[in-house]
Structure 1
Amino acid sequence: MEKGSKQWRFKERKDLTFASDLTIRGMLKKLNRAIDATDPRPVIQLGHGDPSAFPCFRTSPVAEDAIVDSVRSAKFNGYAPTNGILPARRAIAEYLSSNLPYKLSPDDVNLTSGCKQAIEVVLSVLSHPGANILIPRPGFPSYEALAAFNHLEIRNFSLLPDKDWEIDLDAVEALADENTFAIVIINPGNPCGNVFSYQHLQKVAETARRLGILVIADEVYERIAFGTNPFVPMGTFGSIAPVITVGSISKRWVVPGWRLGWLVITDPNGILKETKIVESIHGCLNICSDPATFIQGAIPKIIEGTKEDFFKNINDILRQDSDICYERLKGIDCLTCPHKPEGSIFAMVKLNVSLLEDIDDDIDFCFKLVKEENVIILPGITVGLKNWLRVTFAVEPSSLDDALGRVESFCQRHAKKQ
């Protein structure tokens, strides 16, 4: 047979190839290829959500020791139950219950390979023909990608920059119909750096109850709050409407590569059990891969042994970074940050391209910025807002100041002449 004469029947799935180009990882991969290797200045990453890249954000020694102890114990070399080992689930239930008006059971907790797998599981379980899901814009693009993969109709509601990025609840009610099954909220906010108030979250729960839908609460940045509003878990309102909370140790312990997440049922009325959603979650986990068992084994020591001083230090650095980011951006004419970040590690910044020469849009801005200044920022279109930028401020404060100085120089160089 001549080479190439066979007619192969497999082919690419073009929707996934196209979608991957618009993911955060896909976009950052392209931006990293545009780095000028001849520039002697260090590359400063303000695009990704991985603070562990910077020395000031190293995880706690307790967490490191717990991993070592877990491996050396030889107790966690085998397979784990599909929903996770009991000591880990118990530790996470107690940890999350400390912020709730009722006590979670270990049976409410399901361990996953990071928060993203928790999202995959819940969207897989809740998908059915004709169903739609309400997703914030701007938001975390994996929700849209995974919803599309599960053939779910996506209906975007807006977050309002002039109202501290609160949810447009009137739009939510207008978007929902009899085929809507859930609303996604991300708190503290990725990409907006906002922290929803108790009152606003209660309104979200009441809206969900009226619509007969559940709330998927993405709290991967839980307790990373350093502004006016304290972090309030959505599960606080689980008696109003059922809540599925997804989270992980990734951000608070600064270990995103450890891939230990959770999917937690916060539903004191038992609605999700009665409707067999809990049973379906367990069924889905039975055919999924698990987080590494030795990391599960370390969880009790990680959670119980990490002192509050560690978390306070992280939040203090992020508060300082937020101040630097917000104040430096004020001095750049073409950029506007409508709300000072009060949580997570991100800020959304509006780009006014009409004030710039030879800059077409946010993607063009970011590619020219990295080529000229060795600074990487994520184009806002990747998270749902064209001509905005998502800036990660979880950086060494001196490096953040340096990076924003380079951004200012870039904007001055490209400013339209008066």
Structure 2
Amino acid sequence: MSEEQQAHANLVVPAFRTEEEPKTQTQTQNGHGTVWRFGGSDKAAKASTVTLRGVIYMLFDNCSKDVKKTILPLGHGDPSVYPCFRTCIDAEDAVVDVLRSGKGNSYGPGAGILPARRAVADYLNRDLPSKLTPDDIFLTAGCNQGIEIVFESLARPNANILLPRPGFPHYDARAAYSGLEIRKFDLLPNQEWEIDLQGVEAIADENTVALVVINPNNPCGNVYSHDHLRKVAETARKLGIMVITDEVYDQTIFGDNPFVPMGKFASIVPVMTLGGISKGWVVPGWKIGWIALNDPEGVLESTKVVQSIKQNLDITPDPSTIIQAALPTILEKADKKFFAKKNKILRHNVDLVCDRLKDIPCVVCPKKPESCTYLLTKLELSLLENIKDDTDFCVKLAREENLVFLPGKPIEIKIHMNLVI
């Protein structure tokens, strides 16, 4: 393996084929006339078409060793592969201590081990008026599994869910897989990407079950204000639906707006908070997240949503017990200096990229992000030759330069492109 390959060993990069692969035998009949009675399920076919992973793979397939340039994978938001974003030593030590103690070698309960659930409740309670207990916390294998569990728990015939546009495609994929009808509301670029609450009311009906809020927002990079989140809660209560809030980027903020947890408004509307340590501590490979039920009135219990979550957790894989056992120490020793250093680098990168983009008139940065790990840019197609749209631009960029950016189409914002910072 070359030094270049070793440096990017954990990145998803294409494996260029050097010779034609042998053709496989037909799936339905072998040489002896046997008819096989099995075949691949197509249940995930629709869902898989809207994942970021599928788009990135497609772009990598357009890269070529003939270009003679290093592949630059700047289309996925995982900083952990770069040395300057290594997690803090306290988190590493916590995992090592559990590993050597042997205390994380057994199975755990479906909801997660009690010390870890208590630690998550304590971590979130620092900013909440209505305090959580360990019984309000369910541990998941990352925030993405939290999305899956919540959506499966809410799925019923004719149910629909309200998702933001632009948005994180995994929500679309999991809603499609769970059979939830997807209805989209817009985020308003001229109003700091606030939620179009009139639009929310216009698309909701008696079959709507929840409104999804991503704050800090991926992919737009904004942080919602206290007043706006209160209005979101009031709108959801008016419609009789819950709020699902994705707050996994709560420790990745480098702008001036402070983070406000949606759980502060649980006295108005039931709030399910999805979170984890993958982004804040830069350890997505550790796969530990949580679902927190902010519901002082007990609505989620009386409507049997809690029961459904527990049942779904009973039939899904548990997050690593080693990481669960290390979680109390990781959260209790959360190092503000570590977060500040990481966010300072991100802020510097944003300033650097925005400054360099001033010399590239066909790629415009409408607004500097203040959180997360993407910089959303707009393409000026009138200044480009033979470019149909953002996907066409990104495909040709990968093909000609081995440079991989994320087109706007997967996140439902046309003629835009996301750059990883």
TM (norm. structure 1) is 0.90
**Which residue is 1:235 aligned to?**
263
Q: Given residue 344 of structure 1, which amino acid in structure 2 is its aligned partner? A: C
**Which residue is 1:407 aligned to?**
none
Give the distance between the partners of 1:309 and 1:146, measured in 2 at CA: 36
The alpha carbon displacement at 1:390 in A equals: 1.7
In structure 1, stretches of 5+ residues that fail to align are: 394-418
* Residues 217, 371 of structure 2: 8 Å contact kept: yes
1:329-372 Cα distance to aligned partner (Å, 9 max, x none): 33322222222101111122222223211212111111211232
Pairing 1:141–2:166 present: no
2:360 to 332, 339, 343: 332
Three-state SS of the structure 2 residue aligned to 1:280 is helix
Give the distance between the partners of 1:10 and 1:161, measured in 2 at CA: 49
The alpha carbon displacement at 1:53 in A equals: 1.3
1:57 to 50, 68, 85: 85
Say how many residue pairs are matched.
Answer: 393
2:405 to 363, 377, 382: 377
Q: Given residue 44 of structure 1, which amino acid in structure 2 is its aligned partner? A: L
Comparing 20-29 and 251-260, the one that deviates more: 20-29
Summarize the Cα distance change of 1:79–1:50 in structure 2 as closer, same or farther, 3 Å threshold. same
Q: How does 1:265-280 map to 2 (within 5 A)?
A: 265-280=293-308
Pairing 1:69–2:105 present: no
Give the distance between the partners of 2:180 and 2:246, measured in 1 at CA: 18
Three-state SS of the structure 1 residue aligned to 2:187 is strand
1:341 to 362, 369, 377: 369
Give the distance between the partners of 2:57 and 2:150, measured in 1 at CA: 28
**Which residue is 2:131 aligned to?**
103
Summarize the Cα distance change of 1:300–1:26 in structure 2 as closer, same or farther, 3 Å threshold. same
* Residues 137, 290 of structure 2: 8 Å contact kept: yes
The alpha carbon displacement at 1:103 in A equals: 1.9
Summarize the Cα distance change of 1:258–1:44 in structure 2 as closer, same or farther, 3 Å threshold. same
**Which residue is 1:92 aligned to?**
120
Q: Given residue 419 of structure 2, which amino acid in structure 1 is its aligned partner? A: V
1:18-76 Cα distance to aligned partner (Å, 9 max, x none): 54243111111122232232455433222111110111100011111111111111112
* Residues 223, 370 of structure 2: 8 Å contact kept: yes
**Which residue is 1:308 aligned to?**
336
Q: How does 1:106-125 map to 2 (within 5 A)?
A: 106-125=134-153
**Which residue is 1:388 aligned to?**
416
Q: How does 1:194-213 map to 2 (within 5 A)?
A: 194-213=222-241
**Which residue is 2:323 aligned to?**
295
Q: Given residue 210 of structure 1, which amino acid in structure 2 is its aligned partner? A: K
* Residues 47, 174 of structure 2: 8 Å contact kept: no
* Residues 28, 47 of structure 1: 8 Å contact kept: yes
**Which residue is 1:131 aligned to?**
159
**Which residue is 1:193 aligned to?**
221
The alpha carbon displacement at 1:267 in A equals: 1.3
Q: Given residue 322 of structure 2, which amino acid in structure 1 is its aligned partner? A: F
The alpha carbon displacement at 1:14 in A equals: 4.3
In structure 2, stretches of 5+ residues that fail to align are: 1-28
Three-state SS of the structure 1 residue aligned to 2:139 is strand
* Residues 85, 297 of structure 1: 8 Å contact kept: yes
Q: What is the alpha-carbon root mean square deviation over aligned residues? A: 1.7
* Residues 50, 173 of structure 2: 8 Å contact kept: no
